[in-house]
Amino acid sequence: MARLFTVIALLAVAALSIWWFTRPEPVPVLVQAAERGLVEATVANTRAGTVKACRRARLSLAVGGQIARLEVKEGDKVEAGALLLELWNDDLKAQLELARKRREVVRARVEEACALAAVAHQDRLRIERLFREKAAARESLDKAIAQARAKEAGCTAAKAELEAAGLEIEARRAALERTILRAPFAGIVAEVNGELAEFVTPSPIGVATPPAVDLIDGCCLYVSAPVDEVDAPAIEVGMEARISLDAFPGRRFPGRVRRIAPYVRDVERQSRTVDVEADFLEPGVVDELMPGYSADIEILIDRREHSLRVPTEAVL
Each residue's pLDDT, cut to its tens digit, for the chain (316 residues) gives: 566 667 676 667 677 667 666 767 666 767 667 777 777 789 999 999 999 999 999 999 989 999 999 999 999 999 999 999 999 999 999 999 999 999 999 999 999 999 999 999 998 898 888 888 887 788 888 888 899 999 999 999 999 999 999 999 999 999 999 999 999 999 999 999 999 999 988 877 777 788 999 999 988 999 999 999 999 999 999 999 999 999 999 999 999 999 999 999 887 777 899 999 999 998 888 888 989 999 999 999 988 877 776 766 666 6
Q: Quick one: which of 197, 293, 315, 267 has its CA closest to 46?
A: 267
Q: Quick one: which of 70, 91, 90 has its CA closest to 181?
A: 70
Domain ranges of the chain: 35-54+220-314, 56-88+182-215, 90-177
Q: Looking at residue 74, what DSSP letter applies?
A: T
The confidence score (pLDDT) of residue 180 equals: 96
Q: Looking at residue 290, what DSSP letter applies?
A: -
CATH of the domain spanning 35-54+220-314: 2.40.30.170
Per-residue 3-state assignment (H helix, E strand, C coil) for 194-208: CCCCCEECCCCCCCC
3-state secondary structure (DSSP) of residue 170: helix
- 8 Å CB contact between 238 and 289: no
pTM above 0.75, yes or no: no
Query: DSSP for 268-289?
Result: ETTEEEEEEEEEE-STTGGGG-
Pairing of strands 187-192, 77-78: antiparallel
Architecture per CATH, domain 56-88+182-215, reads as Beta Barrel (2.40)
Shared fold status for 35-54+220-314 and 56-88+182-215: no
Residues 260-279, buried b or exposed e (16+ Cβ, 10 A)? beeeeeeeeeeebbbbbbbb
- 8 Å CB contact between 128 and 144: yes
Q: Give the dihedral sign, CA 227/230/235/241.
A: negative
Query: DSSP for 173-190?
Result: HHHHHTTEEE-SSSEEEE
